[in-house]
Amino acid sequence: MIGALAHERTAPQPLSIDVDLHADLSRAGTTDNLNLTIDYGAVCDRIVALCDEAQPQLLERLAELIAAELCGIDGVTAATVTVTKLRPPVAADLGTSGVRITRRPA
């Protein structure tokens, strides 16, 4: 669930989440060694779990939670997260609305 208004929280809102991870993956790229890269399946699983657990009101909050989680992955130097609401409940005929943030590990 995501949404700041009561009617938004009565049913799941369709979202699109895009993630760009910044990391030195040159060793994985030159050796073709799966153990030297990021486990993208685990990244996706964690994002889904965060969405289910946190249920924030704002897209901005969800993006921050995802970025913080991804910045904790060993070797990640930055994470760019885009969270888009596919059918925002607004008066205007708006197909999508969203936010994009870039964060670095502390």
Residues with a catalytic annotation lie at 85
Angle at 13 between CA 12 and CA 14, to 5 degrees: 115
> Which residue carries 């925002």 as its tokens?
88
Residues 79/47, Cβ–Cβ less than 8 Å: no
What lies within 8 Å, CB to CB, of 33 at 6+ separation is 27
